[in-house]
Amino acid sequence: MENSNKWVFISGGSRGIGAEIVSELAESGYNVVFTYKNSRENAIALCDSLISQGKQCTAFQCDVSIQEEVNELADKCISLFGAPYAIINNAGIVKDSLFINMDQKAWLEVMNNNILSSYLINNAFLPHMISQGNGCILFISSVTAFKGNIGQVNYAASKAAMIGMTHSLAVELGRFNIRVNAIAPGLIETDMSKALPNSAYNKMLKQIPLARVGSTKEVAMSASFLLGPGGSYITGQTLIIDGGMSA
């Protein structure tokens, strides 16, 4: 298959959107490498299932907010597979509360998991992608970067930072034939959205013109499009996948 000599790194592939992107890209023939932090059983089950279907997949435990762990894993991946074709910065958490009640711990936890991780991952792999002379970087941001959400000031700031990284990295890396884009999902059915209080979930649902929650598959197909030939002249952009919530 055309993509079989390309490998893709995905942070946080053990559940939700990340797991669906892992499956979608493996189905498209890519050699997929993903990280997990706590969900070891999910990660192994996903890998085993893909490998049993003849797909290429490897999972590594790595807390992507910790520099030593990211650098060690990046070195291992480079020695096993060479430079990645694509990096997908997907791992993320929420620690919601009203801003006036938001302590520094909750602020830093979200920043470290959601945006410091993106710095660490890209910083570790980019020199190798630049030498290779092609590649893609994708950020899984959020519609919350553009549309205010009560209780999510820390999360919104981390997701807006991803959009800023997308623009500046796209401009820096175009000359190396590396494209950089972001996807900003709205309300997508995963553990993260299921953890929202019912009142907040229902309020968001009412703001969606398509009147339904989105599926992980709908996000994963867009990720695959942006990495593939359809995305070959797209860089520095954000694709909002929110059923019209932000329209």
- Residue located via tokens 């946080």: 12
Catalytic option among 30, 36, 85, 155: 155
Q: Are 17 and 42 in contact (CB under 8 A)?
A: no
Residue type, 126: L
Q: What angle do CA 102, 106, 73 make, to 5 degrees?
A: 160
Least distance (Å) between residue 1 CB and ligand NDP: 26
> Measured between alpha carbons, how far is 35 from 25 in angstroms, rounded to an integer?
15
Q: Is 152 in the site for ligand NDP (CB under 6 A)?
A: no
Residue 208 CA from chain centroid, whole number: 22
Out of 142, 152, 154, 181, point to the residue binding ligand NDP (CB under 6 A): 142
Please choose, from the candidates 184, 178, 81, 91, the residue with its C-alpha nearest in 3D space to the C-alpha of residue 137: 178
Among 188, 226, 227, 245, binds ligand NDP (CB under 6 A): 188
- C-alpha span between 222 and 35 (Å, rounded): 20
The distance of closest approach from Cβ of residue 208 to ligand NDP in the complex, given in angstroms and rounded to an integer, is 11
- The count of residues interacting with ligand NDP (CB under 6 A) is 30
Q: Is residue 30 annotated as a catalytic residue, yes or no?
A: no
**Binding track, positions 17-56, relative to ligand NDP; x by CB under 6 A:** xx----------------xxxxx-----------------
For ligand NDP, which is the closer residue by CB, 12 or 135?
12
| Interaction between residue 118 and ligand NDP (CB under 6 A) | no
The answer to the question of residue 193 lying near ligand NDP (CB under 6 A) is yes
Q: Where are the alpha helices (DSSP H) in the chain?
A: 16-27, 40-52, 67-81, 104-111, 117-132, 153-173, 191-194, 198-206, 216-227
Element (H, E) at 233: none
CB 141 within 8 A of CB 162: yes
Residue 192 in contact with ligand NDP, rule: CB under 6 A: yes
Among 11-19, 95-103, 124-132, 225-233, the segment contacting ligand NDP (CB under 6 A)? 11-19
Note whether 12 binds ligand NDP by CB under 6 A: yes
- Cβ neighbours for 169, distance < 8 A, ≥ 6 positions apart: 122, 137, 180
Enumerate binding residues for ligand NDP (CB under 6 A).
11-12, 14-18, 35-39, 63-65, 90-93, 113, 117, 140, 142, 185, 187-188, 190-193
Q: Which residues are catalytic?
A: 155
